[in-house]
Structure 1
Amino acid sequence: MKTPHDLVTEARQHITEVSPQEADAAIRDADVLIDVREADEFAGGHLPGAILIPRGVLEFRLGSKPELGRRDLEIVLYCKTSGRAALAARSLKEMGYLSVRSIAGGIDAWIAAGKPVVKPELPSFE
């Protein structure tokens, strides 16, 4: 029986990962930057320009949105440490997306590299 770690390791053999340093160019060239974490994680801080599509609904959401259905889209994915993004990238490749990249180390590596993170501000109730 395979473990989650086995699945992520296997997925990484079939996808393209970019370092946080390489991610700047990949994001600049991308049509869409997708955060595959959960809503509460996204609300706690995310990469500038990212849209939230949690891993559990990614394939369905892409399949239901015509603007995200083009298989030649340049897509960059990330999650917390890159496991979910690796699985998501492999799934999108299997769906026929031609240019999918995952950020190695996820948002944790992004932050460790000193890269910017957007943290939504809550309204003041004073």
Structure 2
Amino acid sequence: MKTAHDLVAAAKARITEVAIDQAPAAIRAADVLIDVREADEYQAGHIPGAIHASRGMLEFRVSSTPALSPRDLKLVLYCKTSGRAALAAAALQDMGYLDVQSIAGGFDAWVAAGQPVALPAMPAFE
């Protein structure tokens, strides 16, 4: 029987992972940056410019969003540490997307590298 670790390792063997030092350039070159973490993780802080599509809903979200239908879009994905993003990247490849990358180390590596984080705006009380 396969474990989650086995599934992630198999996914990582067939996807492209971008090293954290090359992630900013990959994001600039991408058409879409997708955060596949859960909604509460995204709301707590995310990479600027990222759209949210949790791993559990990713295939449904991209299938129902016309702007995400072209299979030649350059997609960069991330999660907390890279496991969910690897599984998501493999799923998108299975759906026919041709240029999918995952950020090695995920959001944790992004933060550790001192990269910018978008935080939710706090309401102004007057």
Q: What CA distance in whole angstroms lies between the structure 1 residues aligned with 2:116 and 2:88?
A: 23
Which consecutive segments of 4 or more residues in structure 1 shift more than 6 A?
A: none
Cα deviation 1:11-45 (Å, max 9, x = unaligned): 00000000111111111010000000011000100
> Match for residue 51 of structure 1?
51
Cα deviation 1:68-123 (Å, max 9, x = unaligned): 01000000000000000000000000111000000000000001111111111221
Q: What CA distance in whole angstroms lies between the structure 1 residues aligned with 2:41 and 2:125?
A: 23
For structure 1, the residue ranges without an aligned partner over 5 or more in a row are: none
> Match for residue 87 of structure 2?
87
> Match for residue 78 of structure 1?
78
Cα displacement (A) at 1:124: 3.5
Cα displacement (A) at 1:125: 3.7
Q: What CA distance in whole angstroms lies between the structure 2 residues aligned with 1:69 and 1:25?
A: 23
Query: Kindly, what percent of the aligned residue pairs are identical?
Result: 67
Length-normalised TM-score, structure 1:
0.97
> Match for residue 23 of structure 1?
23
Q: What CA distance in whole angstroms lies between the structure 1 residues aligned with 2:69 and 2:84?
A: 21
- Aligned counterparts, 1:1-126, within 5 A: 1-125=1-125
For structure 2, the residue ranges without an aligned partner over 5 or more in a row are: none
Length-normalised TM-score, structure 2:
0.97
RMSD, aligned α-carbons: 0.9
Q: What CA distance in whole angstroms lies between the structure 2 residues aligned with 1:40 and 1:113?
A: 22
